[in-house]
Structure 1
Amino acid sequence: MNSTQLLSLAEVRALAKSVLVSAGMDDHGSDVIADIVMCSERDGPRSHGLRNLPFYVQSFTSGYANAAATPTIERIAPGVLRGDGDNGYYQIAANMAREDLIALARQNGIAAFTCANCHHLGALRFDTEPLAEAGLVALAVVNSLSLVVPHGGLRPVFGTNPMSFACPREGGAPVVWDQASSTVALMDIKMAAAEGRALPQPAGLDAQGHPTADPEAILETQSLLPFGAHKGAAIAFLIEVLGAALAGGTLSVDNEQRKEHGALNIKGGATLIAIDPTRFGNVAFDDYISRICSEIEGNDDARVPGDGRLKKRVEAEAKGVAVSKDLLAQLKTMMSQG
């Protein structure tokens, strides 16, 4: 504990906002990203929280991303919104589009928001959870930089290509989960390397093309394995289509600009789909969700997907979170240089 400092969630958010503002973000954009950083520290994985701030800042200071982005959003079909992120972060554009997307879903039964010319870091569930809180079913995808090797291959083609799903749950918090298409998320591999520990299972290839659980070897080759072998690779393909191709974003393999700027992410594409279950004809929708959840809960050690975060949320809200003093020192140095 001597190497950590306890921070309240309010202090985490204030720290994140200060770092982002010092890097050139405006008030609105820094609010959106600071909320995501705080929620990541609260719910986990914390590798997506304060530890992501240096990557946000680097993308701005290198000139790769626009810290003062002003996204634009247009309605191009009865149930379709299309966004241009102005070379900023996708979450800012998604935040701007949220109310219109909810209204279109309620009007049409289903609606979608796509966005290109944007960057992404962090968990996707913070885009789907607000929709579920509004009573909608939501699915979000975003493609990323090429790190994942297709099943049987040696060269990365896909990004870690995450996806998130959320739906309302009567009488409780929404069911919300997100996951990468890789066996392990890149930030979790970086954290394992920083802490000097092996991964729980092989998650990438070493220099000889062999599966390995050594995070340092995986970071050297930048070659991650998809989860579930060919099944995870198929999901990564789906997200490449729904993310990059549908939105008109950069393919995961077209990352030369990212390399030139030394950045972690590329300008991929993102799609967020919202469904109003009340418009699909099943008046017992809520009962179905309750039944599915009840069949899982109490079923030995099984739990509803994503519910592990709710316990972490309660604990973090009550006690705060322990943050590495080294990380805090790094963030304070960044603020002083901003």
Structure 2
Amino acid sequence: MTGETNGYVYILEVSDIDLPVCKIGMTTRDPTSRCDEINKSSTGDFIWAVSHSIFVSDCKKLERLIHDKLSPLRQKRREFFNLRADDAYKAVMSIFESQDEIKIIIESESKSLSIINPDHKVKNNQRYLSRHGSAEYAEILQSFCEILGVKGRAFGQLNKPFFGMSDGNEGVQWNISVCTQKNNIRMGVNLEGKKYKDWPIAKLIKSELAAPGLLSIMQELDSKDEISMAFYRDAWQVTSRPEIREKYIGGREFNLNELTHGEWKRILNEALNCLDKERDYKRRNMQDVTIVNKNGSVLVRTMPVSPHLTIWSPLIINDNIDGSIRNKFNQLIHIHRWMMQLS
């Protein structure tokens, strides 16, 4: 490798207003410097900031792959794409992982280069976690993936409310997330309102309405007062999910120990209403939601929505990281089995 094509593929987000638009490009120099150049030479459309960047062995080829795959979302004759930076990053990593030729490169403090195999879960996770600049969190999330025996799929970013890893499964997922604002860690089980294999979220909701089982499962749980549940309402804007006031189905998060049969049934019915009854609940429904922008302004729009269930427990790390994570898996294993069986 000559190093001539080593460089960054970067994703820029609009820094001053909340818009589902990003800019995806490449540079052989520092992405921040490139972003400053773009802002200085800009026609005044947006003020950009670097949201994500990855250093790879062939940034030119990776940029071509990305632009080709995301062409339906691309604005004419520009490197602007109609999706949010976080969703673009997920798409970029998916495109990257679907090929074998281009490799991620780690830059050490001495600026020497080393090629890593993106299929190696430990080094791949270290690459992702080093981007967040926290060795402590890196070890915890790496242990989560190693115990499960998965490469893991990253979500979120450090300058957002949370970031973490899921097991990457389509459907029911184990996940671990770090809340940077509150400096706490959660482990949980998650099922999003997506098609996956025949809309598993719809199967779970209808099964629970017909024969509620979650509250019975609670009796098998240790420390059930530590376990919380939230049914979220996801509003969809192309592939992104803007922040909305109505995000909590049922109005809030619930501790499993306080959840009653009546409340659970009410939450389930509200969640089912986020799916299209005319399509046997196998499609998103349309609802009025209130979008909350970064500047505090609000906008009421009719948008596609879907329900999103997550059940979690706080992860307290003692002397043994692996032991603490294994104990949390054991605490939540009955929730995971219940969610898998119904969905």
- Shorter-chain TM-score: what band? under 0.3
| Larger RCO of the pair (alpha carbons < 8 Å, separation 6+) | 1
Structure 2 length-normalised TM? 0.25
Structure in which a larger fraction of residues adopt helix? 1
Q: Which has the higher strand share?
A: 2
